[in-house]
Amino acid sequence: MSVEHEVPGARVPGARHATGYDDATRERLAADAAAIMARYPQERSALLPMLHLVQSEDGYVSPRGIAFCAAQLGLTTAEVSAVATFYTQFKRHPNGTYTVGVCTNTLCAVMGGDAIWEELTEHLGVDHDETTEDGAITLERIECNAACDYAPVVMVNWEFFDDQTPDSARDVVDRLRAGERVAPTRGASSVCSFKEMSRVLAGFPDGRADEGVGAGPATLRGTLLAKEKGWRAPDFPDVAHVEGQVSPSGGAPADQAQPEESKPAATGAGPTPAGQQPGADPKVGAEESSAQRPPTTPSDASPEGQQRRQRSDDAKES
C-alpha cells in the first residue's frame, strides 16, 4: 500500500505523489521494464525508455519513478536524476494532460510564432513550463519543431499542428480543455494524452503509426518539382567501388588497371625527393614541403616575411 501526501510547490494545485508503488502497479511496471531491458545488451542502456515508462504512469518523472528505475537498472538515484534533468521531454513536476509547444525559433517567429505564444500565454494564464489550473494544458516555448516548411508550427504531445495563427492555436487549446477529439494536421488521427504518448516513447506502440498524413505538400514540393522538370541526380562515376572488383564498364579491376611500376607513390604523384624514403611524408625543408614554397602572400613578400624565411634557412644550414 502506498502513502500519499501533498507535494509542496507543485505546479498543478492539489497535485499528489506516492512514496512508493502498490504491489500490483510495481509488478506491472516491472514486467514492462523487463521487456524494455531485454532490448539492450547492457541493462543500464534502457534508462531513457524506462523514464518514459514511469512518466506514462505518474505523468512526470516522480521521486518514486526515479527510485524504481534505479532499482531495476542497478543505478543510484543520483545517476537516474542526472539523466532525467538533462532532457526536456522528462518532466520533474506533474505535467498537464496535453503539452502544447509553440515554436518561436527564427522562421516560426517571423511567420507568427511569437504572436501565437503571446496569445496563448495571455489566454491560458500560464507561462513557459507551467500548467493550467484544470491540469489540462502545460505550455512550452520550443526552439524548433523540425517542421520549418509549415511555419508557424504548434505541437500537442509532439503531434504537428501546421500553419497556425493566434486564433487557430487558441481554438485548439480550447477544444482540448473541453475534452473534444482534436486531430493534428499530420500523423495520428487524434491527439492522445501525455501519459499515452509517454508509453509510446517507452517503446510500446499504440498501433497508430500509419494513421493520417505523413508528408504533406510542402514537404514533397521538391520531389514533385523534380518529377515535373525531369530532374535527376548525377550518376556515380564509372569506377570500381570495391578493390579487386570489375568496374561497371567491364574493364580491369581498379588495382590492376596499370602496371605496378607506373603506379604513383603512396603519398602522391611525382618522384620521391632525394634523401626521403618512398612512401614517407615529406620532411620539413624537403622539396615537397610547404616550407620551400615560393612567397605567395603579402606577409611572405614583406621585409619581415623575408627575414623570417632567411632565419629559417640559416637554422637549417647550421
Task: Please check whether residues 106 and 144 belong to one and the same domain.
Answer: yes
Q: Is residue 227 part of a domain?
A: no
Q: What is the pLDDT of residue 209?
A: 81
210 belongs to a structural domain: no
Does residue 114 share a domain with residue 67?
no
Average pLDDT over residues 28-57: 96
Band of the pLDDT at 245, cuts 50, 70, 90? low
H or E element: which one contains 311? helix 303-317
Listed residue (254, 234, 236, 235) closest to 244, CA to CA: 254
**What pLDDT was estimated at residue 317?**
60
Query: DSSP alpha helices (H): ranges in 59-110?
Result: 63-73, 77-84, 106-108
Q: Is position 229 within any domain? A: no
Q: With beta carbons less than 8 A apart as the criterion, state whether 270 and 288 touch.
A: yes
Grid cell digits, residue 211:
494513421
Q: Answer yes or no: do 80 and 117 share one domain.
A: no
Confidence of residue 236 (pLDDT cuts 50, 70, 90): confident
Looking at the structure, tell me whether residues 48 and 108 fall in a common domain: no
The predicted structure's pLDDT at residue 316: 52
pTM score = 0.66
Last residue of one domain, picked from the residues 84, 112, 140: 84
CA dist 108 and 163 (Å) reads 9
Let me know if residue 153 belongs to a domain. Answer: yes
Domain with residue 143: its CATH number is 3.40.30.10
* CA–CA distance, 38 with 206 (Å, rounded to integer): 20
pLDDT given at position 315: 58
Residues 20 and 103 reside in one and the same domain: no
Domain identity same for 135 and 185:
yes
The predicted model gives 174-179 an average pLDDT of 97
Question: How confident is the model over 178-200, as a mean pLDDT?
Answer: 94
Strand partners, 161: 154
> How many helices and strands, by DSSP H and E, does the chain display?
11, 7
Q: For the chain, give the mean pLDDT.
A: 80
| Average pLDDT for 101-119 | 95
* Same domain (yes/no): 78, 103: no
Q: Is residue 35 part of a domain?
A: yes
β partners of residue 141: 102
Looking at residues 237-255, what average pLDDT do you find? 51
Of 15-19, 185-189, 284-288, give the range with the top mean pLDDT: 185-189
75 and 20 fall within a common domain: yes
Burial of 131 (0-12, 13-18, 19+ CB in 10 A): buried
Q: What pLDDT is attached to residue 145? A: 85
Q: Within this chain, do residues 54 and 106 fall inside the same structural domain, yes or no?
A: no
pLDDT band at 16 (very low <50, low <70, confident <90, very high): very low
Segments forming the whole domain that contains residue 9:
4-84
194, 215, 235 — which closes off a domain? 194
The domain total for the chain is 2
60 and 130 both lie in a single domain: no
Q: Coil, strand, or helix at residue 9? A: coil
- Is there a domain that residue 68 lies in? yes
In a domain? residue 267: no
Q: At residue 211, does pLDDT exceed 50?
A: yes
H, E, C per residue of 113-160: HHHHHHHHHHHHCCCCCEECCCCCEEEEEECCCCCHHHCCCEEECCEE
Q: Are residues 63 and 130 in the same domain?
A: no
**Closest to 176 (Cα-Cα) out of 123, 229, 216, 226:** 123
Given 162, 179, 194, the domain boundary residue is 194
Q: Is the pLDDT of residue 24 over 90?
A: yes
